[in-house]
């Protein structure tokens, strides 16, 4: 996904000299073509993410469209003060590209696990927060953010292919990857492919699970969430991120504020640092983010939905008698 994003950015930079890319001394095999094509629109800031962020803010305030690039928690958590005060406070035109999100760098342990980034960036004023699901979405994101004024956080995960062709894409509008009226699976980033696989397996049991790619966490597509609540039997959110503060929390806020009392479950990383190391798939399974567990939680949610419907039928005569 990162290769698709940078390839598209390389093409955009050829035609727009305002675009500038800064890296934190990594990603050489990914950004090589960009550097060759746009040598005067590139800087390696070294292993100094706070400085990289400050330089990006300065360039943006001078009219540039600046992209910074690093492993998820370094341009966010390590440089959080600079992101908040230098970029967001000034509404500077800086786009933070975070790769290696979730458990992508699982073998390097908690210091390299990007599991709180959605929560912290979502809380920042002026920040747009986006997490594409696959290379097709990533290309669309690159095109879209160039035309957005102000800060953006772009969470690029290691994930499987979701689409066979480019979907219709708008920032702030969820994509219906697969229709369905029994239950809704709302996923973000790397987990959209897993949600789609789970939906396909559930389809073999006659269960039609709607799959939504909620690629934009902020601004959030509240209407898509309301539609899912009103048109299906319940909502399951799925994210490779701490269970607190990310997609599940955002969806819960919409459901609570609009008094949509539907069966609702969240799947995410438990609120703890991982005590084990391993590759991404191993850690996802260890923390309950396997396709098998998505299916299990969906079936549980469906059982809650059926109980709710049965209770409503039971109480209907009492309500009508009043």
Question: Rounded to 5 degrees, what are φ and ψ at 85?
Answer: -85, -35
Question: Rounded to 5 degrees, what are φ and ψ at 116?
Answer: -125, 5
Report yes or no: 161 and 176 within 8 Å, Cβ to Cβ.
no
Active site residue 285: no
- Closest by Cα among 193, 213, 212 to 280: 193
Query: What's the order of all strands across the beta sheet hosting 264-269?
Result: 175-178, 209-213, 183-187, 235-242, 264-269
From the list 32, 49, 257, 285, the catalytic residue is: 49
**Helix, strand, or coil here: 65?**
strand
Number of Cβ atoms within 10 Å of the Cβ of 181:
12
- Closest by Cα among 93, 89, 29 to 61: 93
Give the helix/strand (H/E) hosting 311: helix 291-321
The residues carrying an active-site annotation are 49
């Amino acid at each position: 996904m990162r290769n698709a994003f940078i390839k598209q950015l390389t093409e955009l930079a050829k035609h727009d000299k305002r675009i500038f890319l800064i890296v934190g001394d990594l990603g050489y095999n990914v950004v090589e073509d960009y550097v060759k094509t746009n040598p005067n629109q590139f800087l390696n800031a070294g292993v100094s993410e706070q400085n990289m962020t400050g330089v990006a803010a300065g360039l943006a305030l001078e009219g540039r469209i600046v992209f910074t690039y690093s492993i998820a928690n370094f341009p966010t958590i390590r440089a959080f003060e600079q992101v908040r005060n230098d970029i967001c406070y000034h509404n500077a035109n800086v786009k933070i590209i975070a790769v290696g999100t979730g458990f992508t760098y699982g073998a390097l342990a908690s210091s390299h696990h990007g599991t709180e980034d959605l929560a912290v960036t979502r809380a920042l004023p002026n920040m747009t927060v986006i997490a594409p699901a696959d290379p097709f979405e990533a290309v669309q994101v690159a095109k879209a953010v160039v035309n957005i004024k102000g800060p953006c956080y772009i969470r690029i995960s290691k994930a499987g292919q979701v689409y066979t062709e480019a979907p219709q894409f708008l920032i702030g509008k969820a994509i219906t990857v697969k229709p369905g009226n029994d239950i809704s699976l709302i996923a973000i980033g790397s987990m959209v492919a897993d949600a789609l696989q789970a939906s396909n397996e559930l389809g073999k049991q006659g269960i039609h699970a709607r799959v939504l790619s909620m690629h934009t966490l902020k601004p959030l597509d509240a209407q898509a969430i309301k539609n899912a609540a009103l048109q299906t039997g319940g909502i399951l959110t799925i994210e490779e991120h701490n269970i607190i503060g990310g997609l599940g929390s955002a969806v819960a806020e919409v459901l609570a504020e609009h008094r949509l009392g539907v069966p609702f479950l969240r799947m995410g990383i438990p609120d703890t640092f991982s005590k084990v190391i391993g590759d991404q798939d191993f850690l996802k399974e260890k923390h309950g983010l396997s396709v098998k567990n998505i299916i299990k939680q969906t079936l549980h949610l469906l059982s809650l939905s059926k109980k709710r419907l049965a209770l409503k039928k039971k109480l209907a005569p009492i309500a009508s008698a009043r």
